[in-house]
Chains A and B, each alone.
Chain A
Amino acid sequence: MTQWSGYFGLILQGALVTIELTLMGSVLALIMAFLAGMGRLSRFFVLRALATAYIEFFRGTSIFVQLFFAYFVLPLVGFELTPLQAGVLALGLNVGAYAAEVVRGAVQSIGREQHEACIALNLGRWQGMRHVILPQAFLVMLPTFGNNAIELLKATSVVSLISLADLTFQAQVVRAQTGNTMVPFTTILVIYFILALLISWGVRSLERRMARGLDGVRV
């Protein structure tokens, strides 16, 4: 009889690492999404070009290769990263590239009449963006941001390849030590699923809260 309780403890430790990676990666992705998304809408060619280059590059190359690059190649040019730092960097930049297009699309979906009201009220470009356009656009972004966060959660499993002890890594450890494949992998399958459900649920309740009053029914 295998001592499963110890092994479950190991997997739970892995879950904490996965959650940590997901949270930190999401924060970086969110920052990149707004920087690059707004960059794509900039009046200035240089900013538009930079944002486009970033988005196309990180969408067009594999997260797996990006992670290896961050962890194994950057040290060769003097950037030594811990596995956690490399993981957050690769995940954040990769998912941020997808989310940047969400930001751009949502901002563009806000009607011209809102921009015109801003001009008529003499709000500056940034004031209008900050107080009128982005708050409305954010609501449009939220559901897709939820998808992006779940994608990021699932992508965290690649960090096990650079020896970061996340869920997937720990499942492999347990498998190697017990010879049992079914129990560890079924367990992490369920844990990933629960984490994804938590994200869905969190985003949906945030969406509900922010939409309050907008349809004239719920206040």
Chain B
Amino acid sequence: MSATAPIIKVDAISKSFGAFKVLDGLSMQVMPREKLALIGPSGSGKTTILRILMTLERIDGGHIQIDGEQLYHMERNGQLLPADERHLAKMRQKTGMVFQLFNLFPHKSVIDNVTLAPMLTKGTPRAAAEKRAMELLDMVGMADKAKAMPAQLSGGQKQRVAIARALALQPKIMLFDEVTSALDPELVEEVLNVLWRLCAETDMTMLLVTHEMGFAHDFADRVLFFDRGRIVEEGKPDEIFRNPKQERTQGFLKKIIAAGHRV
């Protein structure tokens, strides 16, 4: 694959929950290493697209390619068949996700949360998995809590562990779904700092659904504004935040600023 081919190619996908059309013929492309911010009102489909990329939701129509391979389809003898569980498992190796509510395993210590998946899915020996986990926990500033249980941690600490847990599988693409939305304001910074560090020290492709407009502005290479299941506007952060062209983008940003968010 050439370096200029997109790592994610979403082609005219649609998704409904009952009668509610969440995504309506959505297409987008993401280049390797690109940092993307997905913004927009709730219910606009920005979280759904992350969940679809992580195979937590299935699509009703369209195609998705990740790293040159179909996500929900398998190519067999020139034919496109629906993906089976084995194909999905293979495709999931490329992607990691961090959730709004952390989703840590409450019955496992911090380090066991991080080592579980590498040991089970890659057969990494415990010693190697723990060594790697300690490096990751050190990077997110949680090495001193390796033996703690999730219930003993603050929200910001839990989220940093969740980031380390997702990184342990060495995905090429990281999906961050409103990772600071459930945090007390004073804890947001510590999580955003970790994201900055990832940005500086790794070459992962990162997709970020966020309401932190200031952070989205500084962090993203490109901003996508979602509304009603479509990308209404996209561009460089400065264009979107300083000089939005679409009325709906302008309206949304006005509301956000009125609500006290820094842009």
A residues apposed to B, CB below 8 Å: 113-114, 116-117, 119-125, 127, 131-132, 135-136, 139, 213-217, 219
Contact = CB atoms under 8 A, between A and B. Distances in A.
A211 to B, nearest CB: 9
Interface string B149-175: 101100000000000011001000000
B1 to A, nearest CB: 22
B101 A121 contact: no
7 contacts: A113-B103, A120-B99, A120-B166, A121-B165, A136-B107, A213-B109, A214-B107
Given A120-B96, A122-B89, A215-B151, A114 B103 contact: yes
Interface of B: 54-56, 85, 89, 92-93, 96-97, 99, 101, 103-107, 109, 116-117, 120-121, 149, 151-152, 165-166, 169
Contacts of A214: 106-107, 149, 151
Contact of B149 (A114, A121, A213): A213
A120 B89 contact: no
Contacts of B103: 113-114, 116-117, 120
A127 B89 CA distance: 13
A217 B56 CA distance: 33
Contacts of A114: 103, 105
Nearest to B51: A116
Contacts of B169: 121-122
A121 B152 contact: no
Q: Which of A113, A114, A121 has the most CB of B within 10 A?
A: A121
Given A114-B105, A136-B106, A123 B151 contact: no
Q: Which of A116, A122, A123, A131 has the most CB of B within 10 A?
A: A122
Contacts of A122: 89, 92-93, 117, 121, 169
A119 B149 contact: no
Contacts of B149: 213-214, 216, 219
Given A214-B149, A216-B151, A219-B152, A119 B107 contact: no
Contacts of A139: 107
Nearest 8 pairs of A and B residues by beta carbon:
A216-B151, A121-B117, A213-B149, A117-B103, A120-B97, A122-B92, A113-B103, A216-B152
